[in-house]
Amino acid sequence: MKIQTIKSKKGTTIMYQVLIHLILIALIFAMFFLASVNKVNSRNVKQQVLEKQTALLIDSAAPGTTISIFKNNKYGRIDDLQVKEGKLYASVDGLAISKGYPYFSKYSVSIDSDKDKWHVRIK
Amino acid sequence: MKLKKLNKKAAIGEGILMIYRLFLVAIIAIMILGLSAIFYDYYINVRDVEARIMAKQAVNCLVPEGNIDFNRIKNYEQKFLKDLCGINNLDRFYVKVNVSEGNKQLILLQQGDSGMAWIKEIFKNKNLASKVEKYQPGQFNQNYPANLIREGKSVRANINVEVFVNNEL
């Protein structure tokens, strides 16, 4: 009877250990999978394209130009768009804001938004 | 008593083994992630376009309506883009404007780090260029005809604009 109880306890302990083990491995792989998905779904490439296209438009724009960009466009949802210290920063589909891309326009550049568009104003 | 001690030791051993296994799994996952990051990383190089835009800006500033005023530009041999044209953020650029009449050089304006031209030369080596392609400087070189106004006279001149754009990384 005693031996049976000891065996049953041991079995339960091993089962818990294996369970914890599996949960931890699953967590590691979930983190890895999420990080891979970020890379594979090309959000960062879309973000790069958006930043560079907008920076080039700013560089070549004459004063008085307003560049309007739909918040929901083919690059995904543009959550944030800002200019800071000569660089343009964009955030696409919830991706963290990037290192930004520099522009060299000699005019003053500002960004504002309405319900469904970002407006880049060159003054 | 002895059995308890043994059980404790076994539990510790099992714990260490578990940490070791998890560590191995994490290493494998990170390796796969690293590889996928390398394969899925894509860089878009727009430096040639930036060089073209900069050349256009420089020409529009120096040669408005096709006329270049020698007296206006002669004191700006260095820093002409910043002081004469008001263009900022020039850390990545080297711009050279050579105004000549026939084979005779009349004035040479330049701004930026001329070493970029040398870096561009290195990238002509195709074996090297493929390995560090994303750092390759952008380049644009173009000749424009213009009227040079000097001491009240207008002469036909040639303007060569060369722009190099360094990487932003």
Give percent of chain B above pLDDT 90.
4
Residues of A in contact with B62 (CB under 8 A): none
Q: How far apart are CA A14 and CA A31, in angstroms?
A: 26
Residues of B in contact with A103 (CB under 8 A): 89
Residue A6: which pLDDT band, with cuts at 50, 70 and 90?
low
Residue B151: which pLDDT band, with cuts at 50, 70 and 90?
confident
Residues of A in contact with B29 (CB under 8 A): 28-29, 31-32
My answer on whether B62 and B121 are in the same domain is: yes
Q: Please name the residue of chain A whose CA is at the shortest distance from the CA of residue B90.
A: A104
Residue A1, pLDDT score: 54
- The residue type found at B70 is F
Please indicate whether residue A112 or residue B42 has the higher confidence score (pLDDT).
A112
My answer on whether B30 and B55 are in the same domain is: no
User: Does the distance separating the beta carbons of A48 and B36 come in below 8 Å?
Assistant: no
Q: What is the tally of structural domains in chain B?
A: 2
Residue B6 has pLDDT above 70, yes or no: no
- The residue type found at B35 is L
My answer on whether B146 and B133 are in the same domain is: yes
Mean of pLDDT over chain B: 80
Residue A4, pLDDT score: 62
Residue B134, pLDDT score: 76
User: Does the distance separating the beta carbons of B89 and A25 come in below 8 Å?
Assistant: no
A 10 A CB-CB count for A110 gives 11
DSSP-derived 3-state class of residue A68: strand
| Å between A1 CA and nearest CA of chain B | 18
Tokens for B74?
Answer: 């002669």
The per-residue pLDDT for range A43-70, each reduced to its tens digit, is: 778 888 888 999 999 988 888 889 898 9
Residue in A31, A52, A60 closest to B44 by CB: A52
Residues of A in contact with B42 (CB under 8 A): 42, 45, 48
Q: Please name the residue of chain B whose CA is at the shortest distance from the CA of residue A56.
A: B50
Tokens for B137?
Answer: 């400087």
Strands B104-112 and B93-101: antiparallel
Angle separating helix axes B2-40 and A2-40, nearest 10 degrees: 10
Name the range with the highest mean pLDDT among B19-33, B45-59, B83-97: B45-59
Q: Which residues pair with B97 in a beta bridge?
A: B109, B161
Q: How far apart are CA B14 and CA B6, in angstroms?
A: 12
Phi and psi torsions of B38, nearest 5°: -70, -45
The per-residue pLDDT for range B55-109, each reduced to its tens digit, is: 998 888 888 887 888 778 877 777 788 888 888 778 888 888 888 888 888 888 8
Q: Please name the residue of chain A whose CA is at the shortest distance from the CA of residue B7.
A: A10
Residue A3 has pLDDT above 80, yes or no: no
Residue A2, pLDDT score: 58
My answer on whether B81 and B123 are in the same domain is: yes
User: Does the distance separating the beta carbons of B30 and A40 come in below 8 Å?
Assistant: no
My answer on whether B154 and B98 are in the same domain is: yes
Residue B49: which pLDDT band, with cuts at 50, 70 and 90?
very high
Q: Which residues span the domain enclosing B134?
A: 47-165
Residue A40: which pLDDT band, with cuts at 50, 70 and 90?
low
| Å between B50 CA and nearest CA of chain A | 7
My answer on whether B31 and B62 are in the same domain is: no
Cβ atoms of B77 and B108 closer than 8 Å = yes
Residue B158 has pLDDT above 80, yes or no: yes
User: Does the distance separating the beta carbons of B32 and A48 come in below 8 Å?
Assistant: no
My answer on whether B119 and B98 are in the same domain is: yes
Residue A111 has pLDDT above 70, yes or no: yes
Name the range with the highest mean pLDDT among A3-12, A78-87, B7-16, B27-36: A78-87
User: Does the distance separating the beta carbons of A56 and B29 come in below 8 Å?
Assistant: no
My answer on whether B23 and B58 are in the same domain is: no
My answer on whether B12 and B95 are in the same domain is: no
My answer on whether B76 and B28 are in the same domain is: no
Q: How far apart are CA B119 and CA B113, in angstroms?
A: 11
Phi and psi torsions of B167, nearest 5°: -70, 160
| Cα–Cα distance list, B136 to A43, A87, B63, B72 (Å) | 24, 20, 30, 35
| Å between B30 CA and nearest CA of chain A | 7
Report the pLDDT averaged over residues A57-84. Answer: 87
User: Does the distance separating the beta carbons of B36 and A104 come in below 8 Å?
Assistant: no
Q: How many CB pairs under 8 A join A and B?
A: 70
**CB distance from A18 to chain B under 8 Å?**
no
My answer on whether B99 and B33 are in the same domain is: no
